[in-house]
Amino acid sequence: MLPHYCTAGRDIWHGVIYLICWDIVECYLPRRVMRQFGLHQPIPDQTLIGNQTALHLIDRHGPANNDWELTHQQYIDIWGARMDTIEVGLPCVDTTHASGDYMQWYRARTVMYISNPSQCPTFLEGYLGDGARADYLMDSMARLYYMSLDNMIEDNTPNSSTWVQISHFASQSLHAVGESTRLDLRPPPVPVYVRHPHQAHDPHRVGGQHGGSR
């Protein structure tokens, strides 16, 4: 149990507000981490973040005796009305799993594979390093399942039974390895080729690696 002073003011933990310290102004966005509060995680919106670049350019350089209260009055006013900005969410029964709509949004924007699934490095004994390759294969199988469903709808020829067999194979394979939840939503496109880090620069780009021209 946390002591009382740790939970004092917990009403504003869900407040969409600005945190202010002299010249520094940062937006506080609990909507991005609602599962930490036991609530359903929606797709984050763009509230408060439109001016972050300009705010991060502000520092204490410039004329002396700057009145920061006057400079940041609009953000102080939002803090003053913090009880009016409380983010009310829906209770989440299982906080270890996000909703399908959120995961669809998230997977389209995140780095899907932390390591390079096209590489096969040697790992120390007792260490498993094939996570990226396993994820790549599971995503490919889920993609195959949805491709089969799409072709079953479009193909009216006798070959349509082949798509049925392929979809069943992909589904059964994912169920067999405990990855059936990947079928709950359509996966993002799986890259056919994962570029090696040393190939980050495009040799065909005008100006070479540095992008300049002579």
Altogether, the residues listed in the chain come to a count of 214
Q: Model-level pTM?
A: 0.52
Nearest-angstrom CA–CA distance, 98 and 42: 9
- Please calculate the CA angle 143-148-153 and round it to the nearest 5 degrees: 130
Report the pLDDT value the prediction gives residue 77, as an integer from 0 to 100.
Answer: 93
Q: pLDDT in tens for each of the 214 residues of the chain?
A: 778 888 888 888 888 899 999 889 998 988 888 888 888 888 888 777 778 888 888 887 777 788 888 989 999 999 999 899 888 888 888 877 777 788 888 888 887 766 655 665 555 555 455 677 788 888 889 999 998 988 888 877 777 788 889 999 999 999 888 888 888 888 777 666 555 444 444 444 434 443 333 3
Rounded to a whole number of angstroms, the distance between the first and last alpha carbons of the chain is: 67
Domain boundaries, the chain: 13-110, 131-195
Report the pLDDT value the prediction gives residue 117, as an integer from 0 to 100.
Answer: 55
Q: Which residues contact 56 (CB under 8 A, 6 or more apart)?
A: none
Report the pLDDT value the prediction gives residue 199, as an integer from 0 to 100.
Answer: 47
Report the pLDDT value the prediction gives residue 191, as an integer from 0 to 100.
Answer: 62
